[in-house]
Structure 1
Amino acid sequence: MTAISTEHLFALFNRSKKNTENVIKKAPLGICITDPNGRFEMVNPAYCQFYGYREEELIGYHFTLVVPAAYRQQMAALHDEFIQGNDTHELRQEWEVRCKNGETRTIIAEAARIIGDDDKPRKVTFIIDITQRKRLEERLTQANERLIYMANHDELTGLVNRRQGLKRLEEELERCERYGGELSIAMFDLDDFKAINDTYGHATGDAVLQEVTATVNAQLRATDLQVRLGGEEFLIIMPEVSAQAAHTAVERIRQCVAESPCTEHKLTVTLSAGIACYVEASSTRMLDRADKAMYQAKTAGRNRVVIASSAM
C-alpha cells in the first residue's frame, strides 16, 4: 500500500456520501469504519487485502479481531476513549496487527472521528503497511549491534579483546588514582600450547582455548574481567583485590584448569600466571611487571603463579 494524504481523505469524508464511498473503495491504503461499540461497519478492498479477510468476515465483528491478543484490551480501551471524547483526529501511531493467516505485521494507523447519519460518532481508521521497513530497521540494528560486539570482543572465545581490555584497565587505574583502593591484574598463558596445535591440530587448539577460558570465567567474580590479549595469552583485571588475594584466586583457577581435561582427547592443560598490583604506575608498567612475573613462573617449571616484586 502506498502513502496518501490523510488530510485530503478527511476532507473527502465531509462531502457527499457517493463521493465518500468511491474514495474509500479506490483508496490505495486500508480504510475501515467502526461503530461506537468498536465493530466494523465498513472495510475497503485494500483493508481486506492487507489482512487477508473477505468483507463479510469482518463486518459486524469487533475490530480487535485483527489485533494480537496481548493488545486487545488496550486497543479496545483506546477506541472507546476516542469515540467518547471530543477530538476529531487521532495522532498517527505504530501498531502490531495480526492477519488472518496468523502473520504479525506492523502498521502506521491514523484515525478521524466522524458523526454518522444516526448522529452517533464513528471512527475512521487509515492504515499504512510498514512491515518491511520495520524488518529492515531491525536487521540494521542487529547488524550494528553485532559490529559493535565484534569490535570489542574476541570472536573465538567471546572474551573482551585486547583493545577493549586495555581500555578497561586504564579506567580502573584512573579510579584508583582518583579514589584510592586496590587493583590487581593477572597475566597468564597456557603451557606448551604449541604442542597441542602441532599434535592435534588447530581445531583442537581452538576448542582448548574456549574450554579453558570458560573454566576461568566460572571462577571469577562478577566485577572481574578476563581479556584475550592474543594467541594463548590472557589477562584478568581484578578491581579492589590485593596482590595476595589475587594470588589466592588465580591459584584456585590454576588448579581448576589443571584438573579439568579438555576436548574429547581429555587433554591436561596447565597455565602459568604473573600477578601485579597497583602501585601508582601506568597500565604499560603494570602489564610489564605482570609479564615478567609470568615469565618467572615459566622458567621455574610452569603450572604456577608468581607475584611480581616491587622491584620489577
Structure 2
Amino acid sequence: MTHPSHSRPSLTDLTAFVAVATHRSFRRAADELGMAPSTLSHAMRALEERMGLRLLNRTTRSVSPTEAGFQLLDQLQPALAALDDALDSVAGFRGHVAGTVRVNAPRLAAALLVRAVLPLMAQRFPDVAVDIVVEGRLVDIVSGGFDAGVRLVDSIPKDMIAVPLAQPVRFICVAAPDYLARAGIPKTPDELTRHRCIGHRLPGGKLYRWDFARAGQGMTVDTAGAVVLDDEELMVDAAVQGLGIAYVVDLAAAPALEAGQLRKVLSAWMPAAETMAVYYPGHRAVPPALRAFLDVVRETVRG
C-alpha cells in the first residue's frame, strides 16, 4: 500500500479505529460514534493510507484487525484511557459534577450498589443520578445504552475495563436445619441426587448447573429442582422454608446464615471465590458522572 505522507493521524481517527477494531463491525462502531458507516469506512481507509499500513481485514460480512491492527489496538486502548483520566482530572475546575449514570446489574449486585455505593454517591455527588436496571442476563451495555454493567469478572467481555465492586464472592450450598434433620446431610455432591434441590433458572431458560471442586478436580452436577426459581433471594427464602438445598452466592445467604435459619453443606467441595466488578467500555471517553461513580466504587472496596 502506498502512502502519500507520514502525517500523524488525528485523535478522532484513532478513536474511531479502536471502536471498529473492538466491535468488529462498522455499523456498531458508527452507531457508537454517531456517524454513518460509509463515512467511518472511508475514514479508516484514509487512516491506512496515511499510516502506510493495512489495519483492518474487510469482507462483505465482517471486519477484523490485521496483525498490525491488533498491535495498534493493544497500544491505543491504555493510551486513550490515560488521556480520559487526564481530561477528567481537571473536570472539577469546571464546577460540580452532574449527569446520569445508567447501570445494568443482576439483582444481588444492584442490592450491593444500593447499600454501599449509592449513599456515598448521594453525599459526594448529589447532582449525579444513578439509574440501575436489574437484569439477570449478560447484555451488550454499549448497544443497550448503558454507561456501565456489573457481573462476575469471568463473565465480563475482554474489551471492557473492570473495577472490583466488593470482596470476592463464593457460591455455597445451604439448607434449613429442619430439612437436614429430615433428609440427612450430603457428604459428597453425588448425594445431591437423593435430595430435594432448589433449581436456578437462567434468563435464557436453562437450569444453572452446580459446580464443585476439590483437590484441584472440578465436577458439575445437574440437579433436578423440586422448586425452580430465577431469583437468588427467593432461592434463599425457599431454602429457609425447608424446601431443599440451594446453591447461591454467599452474600445472598449471609443474613439467614447469621440468624441460624440456614446451614452450609458440602463446604469442602465449593469452587474458588469469584470477583464481582463494575465494567465499562475501554475505548470510549469516560464522562465525569461515570468517573465519579467509579471513584466511589473504588473507595467502598478500599473501605
TM bucket (normalised to shorter chain) is under 0.3
Return the TM-score normalized by structure 2. 0.19
Higher relative contact order (CA 8 A, sep 6+): 2
Return the TM-score normalized by structure 1. 0.19
Larger Rg computed on CA atoms? 1
